[in-house]
Amino acid sequence: MRPASSSSAAAINVHGACPHDCPDTCAFLTTVENGRAVAIAGAKDHPTTAGVLCTKVAHYLERTYSEERLLHPLKRVGPKGRGEFARISWDEALETIVRRFTEIASSTDGPEAIVPYSYAGTMGLVQSSGMDRRFFHRLGASILDRTICSSAGFEGYKATIGATVGTDPEQFSDARLIILWGTNPIVSNLHLWRQIQEAKRRGAKLIAIDPYRSQSAQKCHEHLALLPGTDAALALALMHCLIRDDRIDHDYVARYTLGFDALKARVADWTPERAARITGLATAAIEHLAADYGGNRPTAIRVNYGLQRHGGGGMAMRTIACLPALTGDWRHASGGILLSTSGTYPMNTAALERPDLLPNRPRHINMSAIGNALLEARPPIRALYVYNSNPVAVAPESRKVVRGFSREDLFTVVHDSFLTDTADYADIVLPATTQLEHFDIHKSYGHLYVLVNHPAIAPLGEAKPNSEVFRLLARRLGFTDAALFESDLEIARQAFLWDHPRMRGVDWAKLLERGWERLSLPEPFAPFAQGNFFTPSGRCEFYSETLAAQGIDPLPHFTPPHESRASAPELAARFPLALISPPARNFLNSSFGHLPRFREEEGGPRLELHPEDATARGLADGDELRIFNDRGEFGAQLRITDRVRPGVAMSPSIWWRKLSPDGRNVNEVTSQKLTDFGGTAAFYDVLVEVGPAG
């Protein structure tokens, strides 16, 4: 593996890709002098990165060279959760893991009593879904359902469109109307924001639909602050108005959609008045939005995952995804809807993950309800191997998660670069490399390029990449399958279907050399201009036979939140505020949450309340609050602002528990109740009450 370009004899620039769970997957260059990384910068030639990194990754060297990096393996010497450890050798660490795994696998509980727990700490395919999957498949461990973020929206979108394919983000600049629906790109999708700004300069109108006036909503021409979890009702009323006013593209509907008559009947009684009662919006605002949407071609809708973290989130995404087929926006490269581009990549998942190595048909464990699983699963979870994730901070209903992780009879391994809230509960802690220290290959969910990440520097201390640890464990467990010993480069090579038409122009040698290559797509890319949806019928499915077969309503509808004033009045009488906890600008989930620069930027855990709600409780700006429900409580400082609508509270996330003043975070009050589709955690479907702390 070689750096692609040299600037001088002493300094070299190495091509990398941002590993974080962010749609932008930026290409970057790391400058290395005498084996030390001295600078990092966004790649200027990569079209979506365009030389710019966000504030977090522009300071990535502070993460890599942080004094808090874990540099050698540790074993626990104090009670679980206390974070008391002693240094051990890799040899002892691996031997301990192998001994415990062998003992559990050969017991009557079998290997499925061992559970991997990972998410997208790195999105690199080698380090997040290559050797790890192969290893746990060969072991016969329980299968982890990786649902915590996006599966509700993913399944909902798929029911309508067939795959997570949508409008090319680079085409947003030519839209006439852009609707930011449950998304805050300034915080979570910075490089799309650049396209949106360009569209605004060219005269486009911007409308935000979000219960919170986010930084992005603030910069839109209009903002509709609906109640959390009511988006489907709004989308149904929009369809009602479009059909009522005959602002639909009849030709597109006839050629490329399925079930229009049934949809028409379904939305007939979804009047704006009805949707207004559910969403808390004015009827006139809904009519106005429908007129704007009906009258502007092309309109590009950006939806993000925020709106699907609700009980009815899957159906909400499915319902919104119907809109551009009605208006015929898909005819235009700059129209349509974008949830994620990830389904555009032709993946060779079978080669990458090797499910054929499974010796058994193990059970599935849903990561979104890990608290319950640790406390209740039978046979019990006896060992947990955590990597690329920090569940004690990020999983819902912390009290149960912490109780689960505290079990004396649970053997826990945590592989991370830092001593996270989760690592404090580990029996064995392993030091992980950062993106500057290992090789990987990346797809993206917010653009259409393949990227590689070359290691810029040698691993710090005794840190090892995920893939290397699994190779070492496989050898010690006596596994002999060749797939468990391939190099990172060999695994990367197998990630994609290279013969697929969308990969044909992607040149491996050039990719390694330049760091990125665009998928082979028509220019401009208008994926559904002539239909060709990825659904079973090949049409945009207003009516879904697939859903009907699963006993789910085959037509779009509104599913109320688990917890809201309308759907749970008795609960709301005790806990009247709907709490959302969307991403903080300076953190990436819990990543970066321990580094001083970013904690100072964020200030501290805070809760935003509308003046009416604060006054009703006799609270003043800056008060220390206790935010609580039956599941638990956490502390935050009050900020009074009309950026939240009355009845809604907002707390940017995700703070580390142990670095918060009260040793807890917002997930104390979130619930393990799942979404309608995909088994996702309904993180923003939560009722709470607040009062002064102490």
Ligand X SMILES: Nc1nc2c(c(=O)[nH]1)N[C@H]1C(S)=C(S)[C@@H](COP(=O)(O)OP(=O)(O)OC[C@H]3O[C@@H](n4cnc5c(=O)[nH]c(N)nc54)[C@H](O)[C@@H]3O)O[C@H]1N2
Stretch that binds ligand SF4, among 52-60, 452-460, 514-522, 667-675 (CB under 6 A): 52-60
User: 438-471 burial by CB neighbour count: b if 16+ within 10 A, else e?
Assistant: bbbbbbbbbbbbbbbbbbbbebbeebbbbbbbbb
Structural tokens at position 494:
């197998």
Query: Quick check: 66 and 424 in contact, CB under 8 A?
Result: no
Residue 279 contacts ligand X per CB under 6 A? no
Q: Which residues contact 251 (CB under 8 A, 6 or more apart)?
A: 328
Radius of gyration of the chain (CA): 25
Residue with smaller CB distance to Mo ion, 322 or 681: 681
User: What's the rounded Cα separation, in Å, for the pair 114 and 139?
Assistant: 9
User: What's the rounded Cα separation, in Å, for the pair 64 and 130?
Assistant: 23
Residue 184 contacts ligand X per CB under 6 A? yes
Least distance CB 57 / ligand SF4 (angstroms): 3
Residue with smaller CB distance to ligand X, 345 or 387: 387
Least distance CB 188 / ligand SF4 (angstroms): 8
- Within a 10 A sphere around the Cβ of 665, how many other Cβ atoms? 29
Which partner from the list Mo ion, ligand SF4, ligand X, none does 190 bind, CB cut-off 5 to 8 Å by kind? ligand SF4
Stretch that binds ligand SF4, among 51-59, 71-79, 287-295, 625-633 (CB under 6 A): 51-59
Alpha helix locations (H) across 245-347? 250-256, 260-267, 272-279, 283-295, 313-321, 323-327
Residue with smaller CB distance to ligand X, 535 or 660: 660
Tell which one of 32, 43, 54, 239 touches ligand SF4 (CB under 6 A). 54
Least distance CB 40 / ligand SF4 (angstroms): 9
Tell which one of 57, 94, 149, 152 touches Mo ion (CB under 5 A). 149
Tell which one of 101, 157, 172, 305 touches ligand X (CB under 6 A). 305
Tell which one of 83, 229, 554, 632 touches ligand X (CB under 6 A). 229
Collapsed DSSP state (helix, strand, coil) of residue 653 = strand
Q: Give the distance, in angstroms, between the CA of residue 541 and the centroid of all CA atoms in the same chain.
A: 25
- Residue 627 β-bridge partners: 634, 690
Least distance CB 110 / ligand X (angstroms): 26
CA triple 313-315-316, angle to 5 deg: 60
User: What's the rounded Cα separation, in Å, for the pair 100 and 110?
Assistant: 12
Which partner from the list ligand SF4, ligand X, Mo ion, none does 53 bind, CB cut-off 5 to 8 Å by kind? ligand SF4
Applying the rule CB under 6 A, the residues between 13 and 32 that interact with ligand SF4 are: 18, 20, 22, 24-26
Residue 127 contacts ligand X per CB under 6 A? yes
Least distance CB 395 / ligand X (angstroms): 7
Residue 684 contacts ligand X per CB under 6 A? yes
User: What's the rounded Cα separation, in Å, for the pair 551 and 549?
Assistant: 5
Stretch that binds Mo ion, among 141-149, 195-203, 359-367, 660-668 (CB under 5 A): 141-149
Q: Cα–Cα distances in Å, from 536 out to 45, 59, 63, 167, 264?
A: 39, 46, 45, 21, 21
Query: Quick check: 156 and 318 in contact, CB under 8 A?
Result: yes
**Closest by Cα among 68, 145, 595, 573 to 377:** 145
Applying the rule CB under 6 A, the residues between 337 and 396 that interact with ligand X are: 387-390, 394
Tell which one of 239, 683, 688, 690 touches ligand X (CB under 6 A). 683
Alpha helix locations (H) across 313-406? 313-321, 323-327, 349-353, 370-376, 391-394, 398-405
Which partner from the list Mo ion, ligand X, ligand SF4, none does 432 bind, CB cut-off 5 to 8 Å by kind? ligand X
Tell which one of 211, 294, 346, 371 touches ligand X (CB under 6 A). 211
Please tell me the count of residues contacting ligand SF4 according to CB under 6 A. 12
Residue 394 contacts Mo ion per CB under 5 A? no
Stretch that binds ligand X, among 399-407, 409-417, 483-491, 546-554 (CB under 6 A): 409-417
- Residue 41 β-bridge partners: 29
Residue 123 contacts ligand SF4 per CB under 6 A? no
Applying the rule CB under 6 A, the residues between 565 and 594 that interact with ligand X are: 580-585, 587-591
Residue with smaller CB distance to Mo ion, 21 or 541: 21
Q: Which phi and psi (to 5°) does residue 243 adopt?
A: -75, -45
Q: Give the distance, in angstroms, between the CA of residue 23 and the centroid of all CA atoms in the same chain.
A: 9
Residue 340 contacts ligand SF4 per CB under 6 A? no
Residue with smaller CB distance to ligand SF4, 449 or 542: 449
Residue with the closest Cβ to Mo ion? 149
Place of tokens 């893939």: 467
- Which amino acid, one-letter code, is at 542? F
Least distance CB 648 / ligand X (angstroms): 9
Residue with smaller CB distance to Mo ion, 121 or 556: 121
User: What's the rounded Cα separation, in Å, for the pair 582 and 644?
Assistant: 13
Judged by the rule CB under 5 A, the positions of this chain that interact with Mo ion are 149
Judged by the rule CB under 6 A, the positions of this chain that interact with ligand SF4 are 18, 20, 22, 24-26, 53-54, 56-57, 190, 588
Judged by the rule CB under 6 A, the positions of this chain that interact with ligand X are 19, 21-22, 119-122, 127, 148-149, 181-184, 187-188, 209-212, 214, 228-229, 231, 304-307, 310, 387-390, 394, 415-418, 420, 432, 466, 580-585, 587-591, 653-654, 666-667, 670, 683-684
